Amino acid sequence: MTPIRILVVDDSIVVRKLLSETLSGDPALEVVATASDGRIALAKIPMLKPDLTTLDIEMPVMNGLETLVELRKLYPKLPVIMFSTLTEHGAAATLDALSLGASDYATKPSNSCSPAAAIERIRIELIPRIKALCGLSVPLKLLPLPGCPAVKARVRTNPQIKIVAIGTSTGGPNALAEVLPRIPNDFPVPIVVVQHMPPIFTRLLAERLASRSAIPVEEGRAGVVLSPGHAWIAPGNFHMKVIGAGAGWSLDVNQGPPENSCRPAVDVLFRSVAAAYGANVLGVVMTGMGADGVLGAQDIRNAGGDVIIQDEASSVVWGMPGSVHASGLSDAAYPVGHLAAEITRRVLQSRVPRAQSDVKNHATVGPHAK
């Protein structure tokens, strides 16, 4: 198998050496060159034809964002992973980069990390992203799903949807920017979201989405009472759950053990909404690597709720939604640009009295009808 060819772009010689040695230590990867700024990188790409580029944000001559803009004009499909600092400035710049077309990001090890810890951080956080973006993820039909028993047959009663739960990862910030701003301001149920991101990033993401959306979007906090037409995003490094019953549903956040190597984890959120709301849940699994959300989707389905997914063509990585599909847990798949309308349609239709709903369904059967 031909290894994935990588161009490393970073102004720090220490970081270039660390990345080169660590990435090339994996037999599936090969660092074919490095560059100390964006101008040099752009000159090397046509000669080297890398499969993927890692790109620092803070660089002299031409910084990461400037480089990304030019790179996307010339190479719109070349995967780019931003390598950013875990700071307010680094998080803001990373979100800018994602909106400009970066494929994903990884955070740099802190200066206090030992060399061994820095290497391990790169192996855990960066290498899986490179492989996923270059198509080396585990085939969906071979994904091990421990603890995932056969899906129960459901008796479809078309229950009223009382909450929407969304899970996403790689490509998620841009996907959420396609979905949440298109939710109407009179949306009648709350929305809870897990986006795999570290602290600081999730708060800034919520603020950006709020500035573009008709509904309020906030980072989740313990004790917040859920209300209709409001979205909450799980805070980085904390699981988020829905607890309570009846009119008293609220959020809980905790630092329990990671699940699927993630905190926050989609499975934790989905499991909690299934327990709190039973059949009155619409789960949505969007772009992301890995299989987080599969067990939670099964909980939602087994409680009588529905699960829809983002389709493969519009996903940056079809790991999470693809795993749900491969496990037989998806009710339907939609392009990201159609998800907001479909979520809204399902929620509103579930609130129409059954006789009226049957008439409406008969009159509006289309390509996405269930």
What mean pLDDT is predicted for residues 121-139? 85
Query: Do residues 43 and 162 both lie within one domain?
Result: no
Domain check: are 63 and 184 in the same one? Answer: no
The string of pLDDT tens digits covering residues 303-312 is 999 999 999 9
Does residue 123 fall inside a structural domain?
Answer: yes
Segment 289-328, tens digit of pLDDT = 999 999 999 999 999 999 999 999 999 999 999 999 999 9
180 shares a domain with 121: no
pLDDT of residue 158: 75
User: Is the pTM for the entire model greater than 0.85?
Assistant: yes
Residues 193 and 132 in one domain: no
pLDDT at residue 369 in the model: 42
Q: Which of 136, 162, 197 is the last residue of a domain?
A: 136
> 226 and 349, same structural domain?
yes
Q: Is residue 320 part of a domain?
A: yes
Q: Domain for residue 237, yes or no?
A: yes
Q: Quote the CA–CA distance of 201 and 207 in Å, as a whole number.
A: 10
Residue/partner pairs of 21-24 with CB below 8 Å, 24 or more apart: 22/119, 22/122, 22/123, 22/127, 23/122, 23/126, 23/127, 23/130
pLDDT for residue 356? 56
Question: In this predicted model, what pLDDT tens digit does every residue of 165-222 receive, in sequence order?
Answer: 999 999 999 999 999 999 999 999 999 999 999 999 999 999 999 999 999 999 999 9
Q: Are residues 348 and 204 in the same domain?
A: yes
Catalytic residue among 37, 56, 196, 323: 196
Active site residue 186: no
Task: Give domain status of residue 80, yes or no.
Answer: yes
Catalytic residue among 20, 103, 137, 169: 169
Domain check: are 215 and 131 in the same one?
no
For the segment 17-32, what is each residue's pLDDT rounded down to a tens digit? Answer: 999 999 999 999 999 9
Catalytic residue at 104? Answer: no
**Do residues 84 and 163 share a domain?**
no
**Are residue 164 and residue 226 in the same domain, yes or no?**
yes
- What CATH number did the domain enclosing 299 receive? 3.40.50.180
Residue 73: CATH number of its domain: 3.40.50.2300
The pLDDT score that the predictor gives to residue 244 is 87
In a domain, 149, yes or no: no
| Structural domain ending residue among the three candidates 83, 102, 136 | 136
* Same domain? 94 vs 236: no
* Among the listed residues 223, 227, 195, the one whose alpha carbon sits nearest the alpha carbon of residue 209: 195
Structure tokens at 192: 């809870």
Of 114 and 38, the one with more pLDDT: 38
Q: Does any domain span residue 369?
A: no
- 292 classed as catalytic: yes
The per-residue pLDDT for 352 is: 87
Number of domains in the chain: 2
| Residues, the chain | 370
pLDDT band at residue 126 under the 50/70/90 scheme: very high
Which carries the bigger pLDDT value, residue 236 or residue 356? 236
CA distance 171 to 133: 10
pLDDT value of position 367: 42
Residue 143: pLDDT band (50, 70, 90) is: very low
Say what the pLDDT of residue 353 is.
Answer: 77
148, part of any domain:
no
Is 142 domain-assigned? no
Residues 203 and 341 in one domain: yes
Where in the sequence is the domain holding 128, given as residue range(s)?
Answer: 4-136
Q: Are residues 185 and 334 in the same domain?
A: yes
